[in-house]
Structure formats: C-alpha cells, structure tokens
Amino acid sequence: MDLLTERHDGWVTLTLNRPAQKNALNTALLGALADALTTLAADPAIRAVVLRGAEGNFAAGADIGEIEHKTSAEGATDPRKTHWATIRAFPKPIIALVEGFALGGGFELALMADIMVLSPSARLGLPETNLGLIPGAGGGQRLMALAGRARAMRMVLTGEIIDAQTAHGWGIAAHLEEDAATFSTQLAARLATRAPLALMAAKAALIAGEDRALALTEERAAFETLLDTADKAEGIRAFRAREKPRFMGQ
C-alpha cells in the first residue's frame, strides 16, 4: 500500500509508502492521503495526525512522469488541486515528521502541516525552477510567510536545498530533534489530551489569517501556464538524462 495507517490512543500515524521513489507524491498517493484525512476528520476518537515518509525520506517531490506531458488545460482540471484542498482543510492538528528529503511537492506538503518536526537528516527545497516550473501547491507563498521574502526568493529562484539546522533557524520548522520520531509521537499524544474543539478552532483561525495574506491563486495559475512551455519539457528531459538543462525562454 502507498499509504500506511497506524492508530494509537487518540492519534494516528500516516506513512507515505513509496520508498523506491523516495515517497514521491503521485496522484494516487495524494488522493489516498486526502481520503484518509477525510475519514479521520469525521472520527471523534482521533485528535491529531503524525505524517511521515517511509524508510528515511519524507517525500522527494511530485512524480515527474505525471508532469512530463501535462498541459495547462489538464493542469486547470487536475484532481491534485482537490486533493491539496482536502489536505489543507483537515480540521485537526497535523505534525509533519520530516526525515531525509522533502522536496518540491513533498516540501509543500510539509508546509501545509501545522507543526513541522525536523530530523537532523532533513533536506528541504523547492527546486521546481530546475524543471522550468514553479511550486504548484502554495509552497512558495507559505515559505515566504515563514522565512521571509529574501530567503523564499533565494530558495525558489535558485532551487537551493537547505539542511535541517538552516530550516529551523529560519523559522520554517517548529522543532529540530535528534530523535524526531519519538518527539513527534510524544507531541501527538500530548495534543490528543487537549481540548479538541479549541485545537480545531485555533487551527482554523490561524490558517484563515495566513491564507488571506497569500497569493495562492496567482501562484497556481502561473504553475499551470508553465506546463505548456518548451522550457518545462527541456527541464524534465535534462533531469532524466542527468544533464544541465538549456533553457531558451520559450
């Protein structure tokens, strides 16, 4: 199974389980995650979720094969947009336990969580411009809200991947822990004892305040437009060939 569910007393661990692909977020996995969260949202026994990746990585981006031939028209009706919206609308606290790579869509997923806990092994980035694209699920906007304009520009424009210590120092993550897995489970158990209505109300208020200040629609529209460009095709070709891309601005 691409998504593993483990129930605990008052909380759940959801594990992205495509280790051969470093847990890259294809549409099926993203849909499974959205479906699982929809079910958990309606379960009063569950008050928090720990989201992690299998075998040492969180999620190393989207599935390149799905993007390679996608057009802007297909991007506009992409079911992934609904899946992302469902994940963002989950009313209970989500803890993102980030080990290893959290890149592209994987980093965008971690940025949608309410509390990010980093392992020292974590490596985070939005390298979409290497493929002639930009973040498509609000990652650039959320990164800017957390780390500031200068650092968001630095990461998005250059595709730089930063380490866990840098990410924590920039305020991207709430915690950097040597034993991030144990810390995350303890945190989830602690949240499960707190007033659930208050937690949901607090989360809803904070997200509403954040999202109103972000140009999420504009970022998504720009992503969809870039799907038709020759530079996107060249970026993915070069990525597959392990070559440096030659972008022509077309």
Q: List the catalytic residues.
A: 108, 128
Question: Please, which residues bridge with residue 50 across strands?
Answer: 13, 95
Q: How far apart are CA 231 and CA 250, in angstroms?
A: 6
Q: Distance between terminal CA atoms of the chain?
A: 40
CB atoms within 10 A of CB 139: 27
Inter-helix orientation angle 27-41/79-89, to 10°: 30
Q: 59: which strand partners?
A: 102
Per-residue burial over 197-219, b = 16 or more CB atoms within 10 Å of its CB, e = otherwise: eebbeebeeeeeeeeeeeebeeb
Q: Is 110 helix (H, G, I), strand (E, B) or coil?
A: helix
